[in-house]
Chain A
Amino acid sequence: MGTTALESFKFCTRLTLTEVTGRKASNIGELLEGIKAADDAVIYHHTHRFIKQSHHLVPEGANDFAYWVTNTVQADRLGEELTSIDIVRYNSLADIRNAFVKMLERHIEENPGPMRTVAPGREFHFMRAIRFSLPTECSAKDYASFIECLKNVSVSSLYLHVFEARLRPPYGVDDFSHWFKTNFNDEKVEQELSRLDPYSYTLESLRQRIIRIIERRLTEARNV
């Protein structure tokens, strides 16, 4: 395990602007049609942005679709299934969309009767996320400065590097693990970070967890 990185880790952050598409769904069938027609910006809004916006809440209803189906349509079983779709497991927004489509199609096939239509005003509104990525002033070259940065960056930055990073090359890998692996050949940190699950922590507690993992490695290195 080296002490200084070949390449500094430059923390960035993600901000979004919400576009209203005007498309609405009043029942499960319309939700399915809307998801089928949705582009990446729509899928991102209702999955990734949802986690970030609700990060301080108990992580239940892990995406907007599941939240609406559970709380408004009150289709508990389907809501539970949609909640269980692990969006960080997928390497593209298209794959995430297909997972929702598949689940909704199966539900409709298994439940061919009339669909419950929600009351006016309680429809699902399809939105798009316009994404902005910004550099921050935080940059790390070793374990200690990485921890310092982690303490100061926003939860948006944390989210971008830990979860959204998996949607771009190298696919399925978070930025932190990748940096520790390529710069310090630290497979232990890589493994621990790559196991983190957004549904088990709020982003603030996730921040503390990552700090603890890296602090522990720093202590181990000093004791060697």
Chain B
Amino acid sequence: MSKIDEYIPAAGRSAIEELKIIAARLKGKTILNVNSTAVGGGVAEILNRMLPMMTELGIKPRWELIKGGEDFYAVTKKFHNALHGTRQELTPADFQLYRDTLKVNLETLNLDADIALIHDPQPAGLIDKKPAGAKWVWRCHIDLSNRQADVWDFLHGYVSRYDAAVISAPSFSQALPIKQFQVPPSIDPLADKNKELAAEEIAEIMGRLNIPVDKPLITQVSRFDRLKDPLGVIEAFKKIQPYVTARLLLVGGSADDDPEGSQVLAEVRAAAEGDPDIIVLCLPPTSNIEINAIQRASAIILQKSLKEGFGLTVSEALWKGKPVIAGAVGGIPLQITHKYSGILTRTIDGTAYWMKRLLHEPAYAKKLGENGREHVRENFLLTRHLRDYLLLALYLESGKQDFIHL
């Protein structure tokens, strides 16, 4: 079976057929992606899976990486943080280093393609060498809603020369002289983190991790980070403990290389101490199947974020058909329609109330999970993500009409 047809059980036969019809109109076209890393990070993860699908569909994908020294990446890291809303000090030398590094890349990279997707700020300056007739899209994966003015003003000079920009959520949009499109990120239903698992496999993994399953599990999977509010989760759980039989499971990384994370983890452990129904578990970053099994073994999944980018972990949980209670921040409200495909909360008390309610109303909780899974199937799978990119390519190729007959 071809790789793309393996997505039929998850995405549906018609979704795959639609992809084939759209791709036929782009047959032989070269689509170039440029970003800063081939491994690690969400963009590389998506490209590694999406590009083979493009090839199968008859499109010629290419992938180039921008190159720079440590000092360049230190500057672009500052750009990234500043665009996310964390105040950074940028000097004229920092901006000059960016220009100089891009100049070197412009001389070495092969930018020949019909359509180019340029991901995030690092390669944005490549627009200086856009080939005539090519269509270039700046693909921004960052929440720009609290961006720092000087960094955005600098990038604006580049971005405004693209044919279009793509953002993940409408609230991320900025004033630009070019058209902006919303293409949310996606999850891969065939990846270890999301693929179907047999009941025996889940039981084996839960046993191996020493997680008891004799009581319903309420789980939050996330870094030990204050913005994910793990202490708030424990407080909410303690409020409902007199009324429910359940166990709370907080799963995150070891936080060895992150001083703030280590501090938060220590506070979480202290808050959980002495309570046999609160489990704090640190797993290595490669534990994708383990996370998958834990989510599938859970009764309720939490994502009680106080601030979030898109918060794609919510879609990962919904894909397992689980009721999700999540903070109404960032891209989470795009993934959850309150009381239909999950629960949105803003307070510890609200989180506690809904945990108790969903434990006491399993039929309603089940319905939320089912609706959530269907919402993800329609809107947040990799196949939809690819479809949006192809539709955008067609839109740009066919003269930017509002109505296109294929």
- Asked if B175 and A134 sit within 8 Å, CB to CB, the answer is no
- CB-CB nearest in chain B for A18: B182
A-to-B contact residues, CB < 8 Å = 13, 15, 17-20, 22, 40-41, 53-58, 60, 71, 121, 123, 125, 127-128, 130-137, 152-154, 156-157
Looking at B14, B341, B401, the one whose CB has the most chain A CB atoms below 10 A away is B14
A154 vs B383: C-alpha distance when bound (angstroms): 14
B-to-A contact residues, CB < 8 Å = 12-15, 17-18, 21-22, 145, 167, 170-171, 173-176, 179-183, 329, 337-338, 340-341, 371, 374-375, 378-379, 387-388, 391-392, 394-395, 401-406
- Asked if A137 and B182 sit within 8 Å, CB to CB, the answer is no
Other-chain contact of A135, B14, B171, B179, B406 (Cβ < 8 Å) = B406
- Asked if B14 and A157 sit within 8 Å, CB to CB, the answer is yes
20 intermolecular pairs with C-beta atoms under 8 Å apart: A15-B18, A17-B388, A17-B391, A18-B181, A18-B183, A19-B181, A20-B167, A20-B181, A22-B175, A40-B402, A53-B379, A60-B340, A121-B329, A125-B170, A130-B401, A131-B402, A131-B404, A133-B405, A135-B21, A156-B18
- CB-CB nearest in chain B for A153: B14
A137 vs B17: C-alpha distance when bound (angstroms): 9
Distance (Å) between the CB of A15 and the closest chain B CB?
Answer: 6
- Asked if B182 and A20 sit within 8 Å, CB to CB, the answer is yes
- CB-CB nearest in chain A for B403: A131
Q: List residues of chain B with CB within 8 A of the CB of A154.
A: 12, 14-15, 18
Q: Known contacts A15-B387, A134-B18, A137-B17; can you find 15 more A-B pairs with CB under 8 A?
A: A15-B18, A17-B391, A17-B395, A18-B182, A20-B180, A22-B175, A53-B378, A57-B337, A130-B395, A132-B22, A135-B21, A136-B14, A152-B13, A152-B14, A157-B14
Q: List residues of chain B with CB within 8 A of the CB of A152.
A: 13-14
Q: List residues of chain B with CB within 8 A of the CB of A132.
A: 22, 391, 394, 404-406
- Asked if B180 and A56 sit within 8 Å, CB to CB, the answer is no
Known contacts A20-B170, A133-B405; A54 and B337 CB within 8 A of each other: yes
Q: List residues of chain B with CB within 8 A of the CB of A130.
A: 391, 395, 401-404
Known contacts A15-B391, A56-B375; A134 and B15 CB within 8 A of each other: no
Q: List residues of chain A with CB within 8 A of the CB of B22.
A: 15, 132, 134
Looking at A20, A22, A40, A156, the one whose CB has the most chain B CB atoms below 10 A away is A20
Q: List residues of chain B with CB within 8 A of the CB of A125.
A: 170-171, 173
A154 vs B16: C-alpha distance when bound (angstroms): 10
A128 vs B182: C-alpha distance when bound (angstroms): 10
- Asked if A20 and B173 sit within 8 Å, CB to CB, the answer is yes
Looking at A22, A53, A128, A153, the one whose CB has the most chain B CB atoms below 10 A away is A22
A15 vs B18: C-alpha distance when bound (angstroms): 9
Q: List residues of chain B with CB within 8 A of the CB of A54.
A: 337
Q: List residues of chain B with CB within 8 A of the CB of A128.
A: 402
- CB-CB nearest in chain A for B180: A20
- Asked if B402 and A41 sit within 8 Å, CB to CB, the answer is yes
- Asked if B388 and A19 sit within 8 Å, CB to CB, the answer is no
- CB-CB nearest in chain A for B164: A19
A156 vs B374: C-alpha distance when bound (angstroms): 14
- CB-CB nearest in chain B for A40: B402
Nearest first, the 3 A-B pairs at minimum CB distance are A154-B14, A125-B170, A56-B374
Q: List residues of chain B with CB within 8 A of the CB of A156.
A: 14, 18
- CB-CB nearest in chain B for A71: B338
Q: List residues of chain B with CB within 8 A of the CB of A55.
A: 378
A141 vs B367: C-alpha distance when bound (angstroms): 39
A58 vs B339: C-alpha distance when bound (angstroms): 10
A19 vs B179: C-alpha distance when bound (angstroms): 7
- Asked if B371 and A56 sit within 8 Å, CB to CB, the answer is yes
A132 vs B23: C-alpha distance when bound (angstroms): 13
A60 vs B340: C-alpha distance when bound (angstroms): 10
A151 vs B85: C-alpha distance when bound (angstroms): 49
A128 vs B181: C-alpha distance when bound (angstroms): 9
Q: List residues of chain A with CB within 8 A of the CB of B375.
A: 56-57
Q: List residues of chain A with CB within 8 A of the CB of B379.
A: 53
- CB-CB nearest in chain B for A60: B340
Distance (Å) between the CB of A48 and the closest chain B CB?
Answer: 13
- CB-CB nearest in chain A for B404: A132
A19 vs B396: C-alpha distance when bound (angstroms): 13
Q: List residues of chain A with CB within 8 A of the CB of B329.
A: 121
A131 vs B394: C-alpha distance when bound (angstroms): 11
Distance (Å) between the CB of B229 and the closest chain A CB?
Answer: 17
A58 vs B338: C-alpha distance when bound (angstroms): 12
Looking at B387, B395, B404, the one whose CB has the most chain A CB atoms below 10 A away is B404
Q: List residues of chain A with CB within 8 A of the CB of B15.
A: 154
A33 vs B63: C-alpha distance when bound (angstroms): 44
Known contacts A13-B14, A22-B180, A154-B18; A134 and B406 CB within 8 A of each other: yes
A41 vs B388: C-alpha distance when bound (angstroms): 17
Q: List residues of chain A with CB within 8 A of the CB of B175.
A: 22
Distance (Å) between the CB of A134 and the closest chain B CB?
Answer: 5
Q: List residues of chain A with CB within 8 A of the CB of B401.
A: 130
Distance (Å) between the CB of A116 and the closest chain B CB?
Answer: 17
- Asked if B180 and A19 sit within 8 Å, CB to CB, the answer is yes
Q: List residues of chain B with CB within 8 A of the CB of A22.
A: 173-176, 180
Distance (Å) between the CB of A68 and the closest chain B CB?
Answer: 11
- CB-CB nearest in chain A for B341: A57
Q: List residues of chain B with CB within 8 A of the CB of A58.
A: 340
